[in-house]
Amino acid sequence: GAAEAPAELGGSPKRGRWAPPTLPTEPALYDGPFPFYRRPAEEGRFSLDAQRCYHPDARQLRYFAPPRAERPEPAFDLRHGYRDLYVRRDEGRREGLEHLLQWVAGNRDRLRAQGDAAGRPVNADFVTWRGHLTKVLTTPYESQEGWLLAVSLFRGTLYVSEVETPAARQQREQRSDMLQELAYMGYKFERYMCADTPDGSPDPTGVVNTNEAFCTVVRTRLGSHSLLFAGEVDCADPRGAWPEPPACYVELKTCKELHSPAQRRSFYRYKLIKWWAQSFLPGVSRIVAGFRAPDGSVATLETFETMKIFQLIRGDRGCWKPAVCMNFCEAFLAFLKKVVTEDDPQLVHLFAWEPGRPVSYTRHQGAEHVFLPAWYVETMSG
Ligand code: 0WD
Ligand code: CA
């Protein structure tokens, strides 16, 4: 596609000395036709319970149960319970790909290439979290936060796992009470919008426990790359226009109230790109936003159809383009395939990116950055 050439650009030798290739991220280099992206198909589901324990089922799936009107009456109070009804996940525990790998190991009989007993145990070029791909998609337009992605090739499949940057770690550990309350408010919004059963109604009086999660595992293809990834989804709407997963899933978001056309344009430019990338990747068809007033109340809801977001931004010159995001992702995946060619779970290539710079990488053999657990390597080697 349009984005194949740039991978080569950074690889030129400097004054005769070999320099490892880099990948440029300027949007103009990826401005071509939208690449092939196969409609994502759900391959499986799993849940994490209140103790953060893995279950190979949909027990944590919740159901979309919005108020009848666009303006909830009375308004939702997103601050309610922050002090006394909040059980927080231990974010210091880095989980890496752990739960996704548990799902893969549990489904290994189905994931092998059909009729190919000698082939790779997971019939996909890439295995990763959806959230990591979201970061890749938005890279050409990101000016604030860089990322670090660790990559290992194991039995024919590239595994991609995020490593927290020192800057992100510092931010997380020093997060102000105000930012922590904002994060809580996002989860509280879900309690007002979701029920535990398809015909139930929300019970916003209960505890918010961020250990709980429902994840969908999808399979898709971007250009020549087959992908298997998991993402956490907020709820399903079995009565919506698209009743089948993954299109039946609804992503819930909160956002500061918009008061002027300038605020709305800025929201489209800087926030909607992340919402779009996150939901487009797994084929989630709708995003429902609650707009917060300064006192933490939500009186306005707005629905964004994922496939129609590009129409909202099309008129704004200088805005982000979905094709650029996808072409960059395709080029990045091609770059990984080109660089990481030795099949060895103990070998890790760390791909690093900071705004204003190209993507670069370093090579690490043994211990330090190894992220594929021994139990997984053993299970998948048998
Ligand atoms: O340990 C790590 N480095 C990470 C673990 C980083 C990112 C995610 N995770 C875990 C999450 O806890 C969850 O089990 O991976 C799973 C979600 O993966 P994803 O869907 O690929 O992640 P992403 O698209 O970034 O986030 C989806 C949702 C978030 O919704 P919003 O509306 O805020 O985007 O997953 C939740 C959150 O609700 N989430 C988290 N929950 C607890 N701890 C975290 C986190 N660190 N990150 C995202
Ligand atoms: Ca959400």
Q: Would the CB of 345 count as within 6 Å of ligand 1?
A: no
The angle, 0 to 180 degrees and rounded to 10, between the axes of the packed helices 98-106 and 374-381 is 20
DSSP 108: H
Res. 105: pLDDT tops 90: yes
**pLDDT digit string, tens, across residues 196-232:** 999 999 999 999 999 999 999 999 999 999 999 999 9
Give, using CA atoms, the residue closest to atom 8 of ligand 1. 131
Q: Is the pLDDT of residue 359 over 70?
A: yes
Q: What is the pLDDT of residues 222-266, one digit of tens each?
A: 999 999 999 999 999 989 999 999 999 999 999 999 999 999 999
Token pair 């989860």: residue: 187
| pLDDT tens profile 30-75 | 999 999 999 999 999 999 999 999 999 999 999 999 998 888 999 9
Say yes or no: CB of residue 162 within 6 Å of ligand 1.
yes
CA distances from 203 to 33, 43, 79, 195 (A): 46, 31, 15, 7
The answer to whether the CB of 11 falls within 8 A of the CB of 23 is: no
Ligand nearest to the CA of 278: 1
Phi first, then psi: give them for residue 244, nearest 5 degrees.
Answer: -90, 145
From 53, 55, 93, 129, the mutation candidate for ligand 1 (largest count of ligand atoms within 8 A of CB) is 129
> Is the minimum distance from the CB of 98 to ligand 1 under 6 angstroms?
no
Instruction: Judge residue 312's burial from the number of C-beta atoms within 10 Å of its C-beta, 0-12 exposed, 13-18 middle, 19 or more buried.
Output: middle
Residue 17: per-residue pLDDT: 86
Q: Tell me the pTM.
A: 0.95
Peptide bond into 246 cis (omega under 30): yes
Cα–Cα distance for residue pair 276/285, rounded to 1 Å: 10
- Cβ 102 under 6 angstroms from ligand 1: no
Tokens of 114: 């059909």
Secondary structure (3-state) at 287: strand
Q: For residue 1, what pLDDT band results from cuts at 50, 70 and 90?
A: very low
Confidence band (pLDDT; 50, 70, 90) for 14? low
Ligand 1, atom 30, lies closest to the CA of 232
